[in-house]
Amino acid sequence: MNKGIRVAALDDIPQGEGLAVDRTITGTDDDIALLRDTDDTVYALDDTCTHEDASLADGWVEDGYVECPLHSSRFCLKNGEVQGLPATKNACPHRVEVRDGEVYLFPGEAP
């Protein structure tokens, strides 16, 4: 059974912030952003904003959303759904699990 890729320790991601995991590790087309919400739940989305070239891992994470660091488009952490302009496309979500303080990523798997 697929146990996922161990990509970080939970403590590597400050609350309300993100951490980008390189595509050479995830095997995906884009890097994947691990995003730790203000309630400490960790989510994963494709890292590059669907609007312009910005890393969502550098965004502002709060109350279920990540805000892009360039133009403030917001994406739902759970499903990647875009909430407002300038982005118009959803971000691709990935399944992520935290076990014993370690973060496991399942690239390409729906959450």
Partner 1 sequence: MTDRVVIVGGGIAGVSTAAALRAGGFDGDLTLVDADEFPYDRPPLSKEFLAGAKGVEQLALQPQQWYDDQRVRLINRAVVTALRPGDGAVELMDGRLVHADRVVLATGGSAARPPIPGIDGGDGDGDRVHVLRTADDADRLRPSLVPGARVLVVGAGLIGAEVASTAVRLGCEVVLVDPVATPLAAALGPDLASWLHALHVRHGITAVQTTVESFVDRPAGIEAGFSGVAAPRLFDAVVLGVGMVPRTELAQTARLETDRGIVVDERQVTSNPAVLAVGDLARTRRDGVLLRRTEHWEAAQHDGARAAAGLLGAQPPAPSAPWFWTDRHGRHIEATGHMDAAARTVVRGRIDDPSFSVFGLRDGHVVAAASVDDPSAVRAARRMIDRRTPVDAARLADPAVNLRALLRG
Question: Which residues make up the interface to partner 1 (CB under 8 A)?
Answer: 14-17, 58, 60, 67, 69-72, 84-86, 88
Lookup result for tokens 């980008």: 20
Q: How far is the CB of 104 from partner 1 (least distance, A)?
A: 25
Q: How far is the CB of 88 from partner 1 (least distance, A)?
A: 6
Q: How far is the CB of 69 from partner 1 (least distance, A)?
A: 4
By beta-carbon proximity to partner 1, the closer residue of 54 and 105 is: 54
Lookup result for tokens 């303080």: 101
Say which residues have a Cβ less than 8 Å from residue 56's Cβ, sequence separation at least 6.
Answer: 18, 33, 35, 45, 46, 47, 48, 49, 66, 68, 69, 75, 91
